[in-house]
Chains A and B, each alone.
Chain A
Amino acid sequence: MNLLYVTEIIIFAAIVTTLRVFGIILLSITSGWLLSYAAIKSKIFENIYIPLNEIFESVPVISFFPIVLVLFVNAIGGILGVELAADFLVFTAVVWNIWMGEYQAYKTVPNEMVEVGENYNFTLGEKLKYIYIPFSIPRIAANLFPSFADAFFYITVSEVFSIGVHQYETFGIGSVIVYFYSRNEITYVYYSLLIMAIIIAISVYLLREFSKYAVAKYTVDTDAPILRRGRINLKQTTRVISSITVTPLSRLARYYRFRNNVPEEEIFEKEEHGYNWVKYIPGVIAIFVFILILYYSIKLVISIPSVTWDYLLSLTPFILLNMLFDYIRIAIIAIISLVFAVLVGYYLAMHKRGEAILVPIIQTFSAFPPPIYFPIVFGITYPFVLHYFGILTTEIYVLSIGFISTFYYVLYSFWMGLKAFPSEYFDVMENFQMNFFQKLRYIILPGTFPYLISGITSTINSAWGGLMIGEYWPNIIGDKNLEVKVGLMKYISQATLQGNIQIAAWSSFIFSIVVVLYSLLFTKHLMDLARKKYVAEEGIYAA
């Protein structure tokens, strides 16, 4: 192959992949604008839409990947089917977070603005264009980066996949790199990684600029910011902070607050003359979709012979055992990420200069999809790791993939939490000469608790994606395999590869039930606690 030709292909592939990412994010954003409006206008739709969003947000979609692939490949087939399957996976990985963000933004549009729109008889289009969409932009901007990183991660995984004996692929940097790996053209892999790094760095830069612009232009000073005199140079950043903080915190505070206020809202809801039927449409559609899902689920359950059911049920204890192992891995990843986040986040918040340099680097690194570079890292480090860790080698690698693909969320959240910390808190800590551990224990950890919970939740969800690729990776480099002994993600991957879709589907189903239960019982509880008690911003009283 001649180098120029290869370069062209790599650049083209990288651009195709990047366009996919941006296209999917754009689609998520625009669809969210409409759906969110439907949600705030129709109670029925809202009551279905929001819980579904919450559930899908907490289920690592990657576990459904096999089923989705089969559906798309079977139903549509051809290049289009594969393309759509890959896009759909990425879509389901990023969309919930964006939709929720927009919904929350819509819910917090100041009533005065809404009334202005009503006063001048805005049409639906005008209301969206002049009020709701602009208002949602800072929130979207703040959510954009994690979605972007997620999208890159999943797109590179999903450009090539195998079911049974068939390998499906769609053109893009992910499939090109897999091709190079399979031909052992490691130089070209490096080359691709470099080009990808440049493209991601540019994208990160553009996103940061967009974020700044969005915040500067669209942030509404609804609640008067607390005056922080005496802290010099803070002015520039306060606006950024005040709008970015909206993200994790609002996830807890605003969202719940507004949901809990629902009855009051109903009282004040005004009649929309002549439009009455419009607000039933989303509700009707929602019910229709719900019935459709129910119908197909029942049909599916009935279509499976009872022998198969018996078999699947008998597998369940084994599946649960596998899941337990994965939960232990997830717990280790979460703890390491947390410790890392607290140490690095604290350093970043305390050192302006370090922050200015390190944050873009960390962002670029975290958006750089591990699936495309991890094989090389594996190839280089394997002898050393094997030497020092022996039988733990596989686990070290799996945990590492989990860590590098997820540490960012909790770090970012924690850092944001610290940035939103009232500057007076730092004064108090200094004034009473608390040591580092006292600061952490009494002030910093409780004060960033809502952010930490929200960050840890995202980290845990994404860690499943890391495990999915890491637990079973045949021919990761050369003829080496990365494979754990026990793990649900491996179990699902293997079942898919062997074309055993029923087992893969059943495992995913059991898995998602556990994850949803976990999220309902554990995460929700913590979030409630965080919102009730640990809101640092409430610690400053300024009339």
Chain B
Amino acid sequence: MTLNNNSHENQLNEIMRVENLNFTYENGYKVFENINLSINENRFVSVIGRSGIGKSTFLRLLGGFLKPDSGNIYLRGKRITKPNPQIVLIHQSIVTFPWMTALENVKISLKSKNLTEEEENYRARKALEMVGLQGFEDLYPKEMSGGMRQRVSIARALAAEPLMLLMDEPFAHLDELTAEGLRQDIYNILFNPETNLKAVVLVSHNLTEVLELSDEIFILNNMPATVVAKIEVNLPRPRNPRSDEFNRMLDQLYTYLGSSSNVRG
């Protein structure tokens, strides 16, 4: 069930490559300079950095929602130029459509595929089942708690059978207990053998969360930002945030981030 069991055999299969990525905001502020990285299959990858460094912007670049000044992003060797259902963004603010039932909310992701109504329904139901929401097909979002709504949006993403998921602080709007519950489930849901999913990129400011979930962590720093470090996390799952090893790694992450103040000064 967990990723590490099978990740080693596939480790060399690259799913995403980012080459010499540069990006500048409309106001002229340069956010990223020469970012290079590579993400392998079956990895849960996180991107961290101090607040304001442009983590969300980075995810949007990966997904093709923003266009880089220069540089390229490849998903399985194919250049990403605009958003597509192969790589789905999950928002921090949980997005559902209040006029649609849970099932219809999920089916939205299948519209561009020109499937039959039956096939749409079948896939959407399967996706809802994967996130544990069978029985909720005909319920409206406003009848659901925040945690369940985020599950609907994850089901919507999974129904599109993406290769990669981009998660922008997906637990930020949930209270800590709910977030913890969803966090623990999410890993198993995402790397369920039934999904097509090859990798997840998470952006979060919650370092404990990042350490709990990730196989690999990229650290952004400096202005404009570059990747200053890449850390492999080989702790066994489920991870105990109170263990010494966990805390040692946490300390290491903070060290990388802390050095930013020197660079900035």
Contacts and interface: CB of A to CB of B under 8 A. Distances in A.
The finding on whether chains A and B are genuine partners in a shared complex, rather than unrelated, reads yes
B256 interface: no
B83 A433 contact: yes
Interface string B57-78: 1011001010000000000000
A435 B88 CA distance: 17
A425 interface: yes
Contact of A435 (B112, B142, B160, B168): B112
Contact of B142 (A422, A433, A446, A538): A538
Nearest to A435: B112
B173 A541 contact: yes
B173 A539 contact: no
Contacts of B222: none
A76 interface: no
B198 to A, nearest CB: 17
A273 B146 CA distance: 45
Among B63, B95, B141, B174, residue most surrounded by chain A Cβ atoms (within 10 Å): B95
A446 B60 CA distance: 26
Contacts of B91: 424, 427
A424 to B, nearest CB: 4
A380 interface: no
Given A533-B99, A539-B141, A542-B94, A434 B56 contact: no
Given A230-B168, A422-B93, A427-B91, A432 B63 contact: no
B121 interface: no
B97 A432 contact: no
Contacts of A233: 26-27
Contacts of B25: 232
Nearest to B110: A432
B112 A541 contact: no
B133 to A, nearest CB: 15
A432 B57 contact: no
A187 interface: no
Contacts of A539: 95-98, 141
Contact of B88 (A226, A230, A431): A431
A229 interface: yes
B84 A433 contact: yes
B108 interface: yes
B40 interface: no
Contacts of B230: none
A428 interface: yes
B85 interface: yes
A534 interface: yes
Interface string A160-199: 0000000000000000000000000000000000000000
Interface string B26-68: 1100000000000000000000000000001101100101000
B92 interface: yes
A449 B57 CA distance: 31
A430 B108 contact: no
A540 B141 CA distance: 10
Contacts of A481: none
Contacts of B65: 230, 427, 430-431
A226 B95 CA distance: 12
Contacts of A432: 85, 88, 108-112, 160
A229 B26 CA distance: 15
A435 B112 CA distance: 7
B176 to A, nearest CB: 11
Contacts of B57: 230, 232
Contacts of B88: 431-432
| Chain A: interface size category | 20 to 34
A434 B113 CA distance: 9
Contacts of A543: 146, 173-175
A63 B82 CA distance: 54
Interface string B141-173: 110001001100000000010000000100001
Nearest to B146: A541
Interface in A82-105: none
Among A226, A533, A539, A541, residue most surrounded by chain B Cβ atoms (within 10 Å): A541
A443 interface: yes
A438 interface: yes
Contacts of A443: 97, 108
A138 interface: no
A535 interface: yes
B93 A542 contact: yes
A541 B83 contact: no
Interface in A242-267: none
Among A424, A438, A536, residue most surrounded by chain B Cβ atoms (within 10 Å): A424
A1 interface: no
Nearest to A441: B111
A428 B173 contact: no
A445 to B, nearest CB: 10
B138 to A, nearest CB: 14
Contacts of A425: 95, 97
Nearest to B97: A539
Contacts of A307: none
Interface string A287-317: 0000000000000000000000000000000
Contacts of B60: 230
A473 to B, nearest CB: 43
Contacts of A427: 65, 83, 89, 91, 95
Contacts of A433: 83-85, 112
A428 B56 contact: no
Among A228, A230, A431, residue most surrounded by chain B Cβ atoms (within 10 Å): A431
Contacts of A424: 91, 93, 95
Interface in A513-543: 533-536, 538-543
B111 A431 contact: no
Given A432-B160, A434-B111, A540 B97 contact: no
A227 interface: yes
Interface string A421-461: 01011011011111100100011001101000000000000
Contacts of B112: 432-435, 438
Given A226-B93, A230-B60, A433-B112, A542 B173 contact: yes
Contacts of A540: 93-95
A431 B175 contact: no
Contacts of B89: 427, 431
Contacts of A228: 93
Contacts of B149: 541
Given A430-B83, A433-B85, A538-B98, 4 more contacts: A230-B59, A434-B111, A539-B141, A541-B141
Interface of B: 25-27, 56-57, 59-60, 63, 65, 82-85, 88-89, 91-100, 108-112, 140-142, 146, 149-150, 160, 168, 173-175
Q: Which 6 A-B pairs have the closest CB atoms?
A: A541-B94, A230-B56, A433-B112, A430-B83, A424-B95, A446-B99
15 contacts: A227-B92, A230-B65, A232-B27, A425-B95, A430-B65, A431-B83, A431-B88, A433-B83, A438-B112, A533-B140, A536-B97, A540-B94, A541-B141, A543-B146, A543-B175
Interface of A: 226-230, 232-233, 422, 424-425, 427-428, 430-435, 438, 442-443, 446-447, 449, 533-536, 538-543
